[in-house]
Amino acid sequence: MAKSTSNRIFATPSAYARKHYLFVQEVGTLQSLEPHVSKRQNLNSFLFFIVMDGEGTLFYENTKHRICAGDCVWIDCTRPYFHESSAEHPWSLKWVHFNGNGAKSFYETYLAKGNFYVFHPRSILPFTEALDQLYLCQQNKSSLMELSANKGITDIITLCFTENESLKQGEFSIPDKLQQVHTYLTEHYDEKISLEDLAERFFISKFHLSREYKKIYGNTIGNELTYQRISHAKSMLRFSDDSIDTIALKCGFQDSGYFIKVFKKAENMTPLEYRKKW
């Protein structure tokens, strides 16, 4: 007797899709009828699945996790893993194996932001809809199948990021001092600001401030200040006749040469080129 029933579609992406897109390797559904172990390692793939019903076990990163209906899982299959449905409550899953351009970077960034590879979203509906669309996309094989698949996988990845961000916001609010620092940076971008100045002004350890600001806002204080200055400089380049030297000073750059260097690194063009193009 079969231990499970499944519907799956195997995909063979084109060379163009492999180079430029996120692409489907397999997509489908699984209904376990009794305990059944799926065990792999060194598989060049990323797996995302949702437990639609029932419960089971995931072993990943040398840790055993009990997962149940409503849980989402996103793992790197180059690392050893196995998952198994329980005997008492066999599970049903919707899943996709994918890879492609940016897949590894997306996953590493996701984990670096403090997100977890197992999470329980407020609603699985957006995830199931995205998986259903991926399945239909592969089934119908339209001329835009690979482009549509790239969008569908991107949608799932985006949902993972946004849902985890919402879950974290629900667990805690941004500390008042960090909000004050963030507001201060947006209002005083044109002034000379150092980490030591901020620590003294807001009565907080500079090491704690640096670590917690990046954890909450996903950016270092130095980069945040640079982005604020560059954004204001772009506005002035487009909507004023001020010279490059004047704009540099008004945006907090003490030296126009340094301003040009930072601007070119951010925009891949000089301030003057930006003004001419935009």
Three-state secondary structure call for residue 40: strand
The pLDDT, as a whole number, for residue 1 is: 44
* 11: CB partners within 8 A, 6+ apart: 23, 24, 25, 26, 27, 138, 149
Q: Which residues pair with 71 in a beta bridge?
A: none
Cβ atoms 54, 93 nearer than 8 A: no
Tokens of 26: 């397999």
Residues of the chain where predicted confidence (pLDDT) is lower than 50: 1, 171-172
Q: How far apart are CA 100 and CA 114, in angstroms?
A: 23
The pLDDT, as a whole number, for residue 173 is: 55
Whose tokens are 């985890």? That residue is 164
Pairing of β 37-40 and β 46-53? unpaired
The pLDDT, as a whole number, for residue 218 is: 77
DSSP letter (8 states) at residue 196:
H
Q: Domains of the chain by range and CATH?
A: 4-171 (2.60.120.280), 176-277 (1.10.10.60)
